[in-house]
Amino acid sequence: MIAIVDCNSFYCSCERLFRPDLENKPVIVLSNNDGCIISRSDEAKALGVGMAGPYFKAKPIIEANHVAVFSSNYNLYGDLSWRVMETLRTMFGQHNVEVYSVDEAFINLDIIPPEQIEDIAMQIRTTVEQWTGIKVSVGVATTKVLAKVANKLSKKNKAITQCVMVLNTKEKIDAALQQTSIDAVWGVGFSYAEKLKKFNIHTAYDLSKQNIIWAKKHLGGVVGVRLIQELKGFPSIQMKDELLNKKMIMTTRMFGAAVTDIKSIKEAIATYTSRAAEKLRRQNCAAKTISVFLVAKQESHNASFNRGTTINTYTTLPLATSLTHQLIKPAIVLAERLFEQGTVYKKAGVMLSDIVPDASIQGNLFLSDTKNKSRFLMGVMDNINFSQRNDILKFAASGTTRNWKMQQNFHSPKYTSRWDDLCLVK
């Protein structure tokens, strides 16, 4: 059996954890730049606040009902996510837990006797809530896809399910699949859902009755076969080990205000490059290719969302490096190459690729000892920035005023990672 543990309205739950006055009250969390709604409490959903919609459109409902609004606080969410995952690893062991996203994890329950599965599922829910303060839903079944179905249904009527659902009989599985619309099936996107409806397939149950030959022809080949096999109760998507080292590292942000000058673009690219280099060093690696992209702001007079035009370019370095200054220099050159006078930009980003282990880079016999020890200098800089926060040490190319930084007008304190933000108990 496989369980999936999913944190309930995770970002909102994190904000409520240190604000008990918000318990049972409507709460929402906004995306970068306070643009869109990315998390809603059940109370906010009941008011009709839509998911992923623009904040300004929902503002009348939010203000009329005194909905608590927060900017994204990724320091807080990341730390609490780690605590939830560590709780699960403590309960079941490192190799039986697959972290799927910031608020979801699969657990291999093959070591648990079948008659104890329901008790264990309930124990997972209560233990995570007791140890971390974060409420979770638990879905259990024989496959990952069925576990996702169980998890989704466990949230529909929390008073009855207590946020736990175990699909351990054919009758339970069939009933769950019949209640699950085709566009709610894990792995079925919007395009495929519309395509399947044309075949008169409207529920997960309808899809589970299709055969393998049909799946190969109409559902993307091997991927579709695995999906239908999983719906039939035959495990086809295996548990995966945690990916410790990333193959690509990207840092990107929306600007807090429209940017038209090259100075701001260069400062933003230098800042994002510094952040990407820090992530690179954290996994003891170096990169040989650096890419830069800019996104232009375009006026849209249509109802549909206009993403804007993205332009990008890249360069390959002579040698792989993790040194910030050696990455900033080519990144700024790429930014200058992309920038067009008169264009309004709303977003920029940097990506590092062709990543190799740091230990594979040889020192240069023709350089002084001081220059060969630049990696040590970067480590010192990272440690100071980690302990003091707010990029207290940074390269001049990153700028000092940073008027282009994204807006975070409703940011909560970093309760778990800043001494100055610790909760005060009176």
Residue written as token pair 């039939």: 232
Give residue limits of the domains in the chain. 7-75, 81-231, 249-398
Confidence of residue 113 (pLDDT cuts 50, 70, 90): very high
pLDDT at 242: 67
DSSP type of residue 167: -
Tens-digit pLDDT profile for residues 149-208: 999 999 988 889 999 999 999 999 999 999 999 999 998 888 888 999 999 999 999 999
Contacts (Cβ under 8 Å, ≥6 apart) of 391: 274, 385, 398
Instruction: Give domain 249-398's CATH architecture.
Output: 2-Layer Sandwich (3.30)
pLDDT at 315: 94
DSSP state letters, 249-265: EEEEEEEEEEE-SHHHH
The whole-model pTM stands at 0.83
pLDDT at 371: 64
DSSP type of residue 155: T
Q: H-helix or E-strand containing 212? A: helix 212-218
In this chain, the answer to whether the domains covering 7-75 and 249-398 adopt an identical fold is no
The region that residue 163 occupies, defined by phi over 0 for left and psi between -120 and 50 for alpha, beta otherwise, is: left
pLDDT at 307: 61
Confidence of residue 303 (pLDDT cuts 50, 70, 90): very low
Q: H-helix or E-strand containing 150? A: helix 144-154
Query: CA-CA distances (angstroms) from residue 363 to 145, 217, 282, 323?
Result: 49, 54, 20, 13
pLDDT at 368: 66
119-123, 138-142, 191-195, 332-336: least confidently modelled range: 191-195
pLDDT at 301: 47
Instruction: Give domain 7-75's CATH architecture.
Output: 3-Layer(aba) Sandwich (3.40)
The whole-angstrom separation of Cα 46 and Cα 313 is 45
Task: Report the 10 Å Cβ neighbour count for 269.
Answer: 28
Angle formed by the axes of helices 10-17 and 74-92, to 10°? 100
pLDDT at 308: 67
Tens-digit pLDDT profile for residues 29-66: 998 888 899 999 999 999 999 998 899 999 999 999 99
Residue written as token pair 């039986």: 96
pLDDT at 289: 95
The region that residue 299 occupies, defined by phi over 0 for left and psi between -120 and 50 for alpha, beta otherwise, is: beta
Task: Report the 10 Å Cβ neighbour count for 349.
Answer: 20
The whole-angstrom separation of Cα 117 and Cα 114 is 5
Query: CA-CA distances (angstroms) from residue 275 to 221, 236, 263, 334?
Result: 39, 38, 19, 17
